[in-house]
Amino acid sequence: MSILRLSSIQPGFHEQLDTLLSRETDTGDDIQNLVADILRDVKQRGDAALCEYTSRFDHWECTTERLEISRDRMETAWNAISDKDRQALELAVERIRSYHEHQKQEDWEYTDDAGLTLGQRITPLDRVGLYVPGGKAAYPSSVLMNAIPAKVAGVEEIIMVVPTPAGELNDLVLAAAWVSGVQRAFSVGGAQAVAALAYGTETIPSVDKVVGPGNKFVAAAKRQVFGRCGIDMIAGPSEIAIIADGGHPEWLAADFLSQAEHDEAAQSIFISTDSDLIDAVDAAIEKHLETLPRADIARASAKAHGALIHVQSLKEAADVINIIAPEHLELAMDDPDSILPMIRHAGAIFLGHFVPEALGDFIAGPNHVLPTNRTARFSSPLGVYDFQKKSSVIRATRQAVRTVGPAAAHLAHREGLQAHALTIELRLADKD
């Protein structure tokens, strides 16, 4: 297999980098139109449409009575998994909760010189819908990373939807739902599940926000229901970028493949000032691919979207990273802090030789739901703040209105909004 090699000093480097990054991650009109039809149908016909699509796509006889997965079934799953599974989930829950507790925001107020008291009030969302992927693989970590910040934020009700191909429930996913505090769960997936969460059906209540990753149909559905409810982000295929100035080639190659094994459309990029290290990592990638169970997927990803980039300096490496704006960034260096201040755009940053991206995926504590496809330029990891909203608070005394009211009334008149101005002028004229 030949992985793309780039050098920052070769002609047309930035054009080649742009081409590398321009993966087709959006959905075409055919998918958008199909999803629009499904959303409309579920909105109009509720459970009947939801079950029809579930039976068709997941190949089991869906009925309204079989849609919901009870809390008792989640508890049964928790008791059915191994002790090692439970211990790992409990440790992950503890660490994820502890990290997200630090993100909690508080109400605040201050009184200014004019006499107005101004502030902000933080309130949680009432109900959120958590989409958990199913099918080829089970992702209990996705349950934890979405449900726990919602619980920390104070969300009253967390509803999970998860596809169940052939009607099979995954005990590890249900156990994660149990231990993270999911109150209700339903065995549906795809665009029809997003429709149910956004619009509500006879069985599934509508939610204020839909969070969680999914395939291109789920992504298209989230895009289309935005406005009816909130969404976290439009997630694309996974990404990793690695800057290394030394270290074990076998470690670095494994880190490169950790995202490539997710999906043929995933992207892995290795960057170094050391051409010999690049050669060694390339060889180690080939060696790992001889034994990895998901080697076919990883090889396809690396060949289509991977790159090994030689740069002339760490400053140049940082510049390349700020163009890529990767979902995951590993600074596999003896002194990662020397380059950290130069990094402006990355979803999650892993510092040093002993913190592979996989540590963040499962157990470190920070959220693994991260911006992809260069959206780290303007968005952040999922967090407690995604499950809260802010309200402005304004208090004013009579004297405060006399101080700032004339200017407000003037601006209202200038915008042609005389009733607005009148509300202030009446108060200014009051002598009592």
Helices 171-180, 83-101: axis angle to 10 degrees equals 40
Our answer to whether residue 328 is catalytic in this structure is: yes
- In contact, 180 and 144? CB cutoff 8 Å: yes
Strand partners, 308: 5, 270
Selecting among 262, 310, 328, 368, the annotated active-site residue is 328
DSSP states of 188-233 as a string?
Answer: --HHHHHHHHHH--SSSPP-SEEES---HHHHHHHHHHBTTBEES-
Selecting among 239, 262, 305, 327, the annotated active-site residue is 327
| 15-42 residues labelled b (16+ CB within 10 A) or e (exposed) | ebbeebbebebebeeebbeebeebbebb
* CA dist., res. 309 & res. 9, Å (int): 11
Tokens encoding 343: 């990094």
Total number of residues shown for the chain: 432
| Terminal-residue alpha carbon distance, the chain | 85
* CA dist., res. 205 & res. 207, Å (int): 6
Of 225, 242, 243, the C-alpha closest to 234 is 225
- In contact, 144 and 138? CB cutoff 8 Å: no
What residues contact residue 99 under an 8 Å CB cut-off, 6+ apart?
364, 365, 366, 367
Active site residues: 327-328
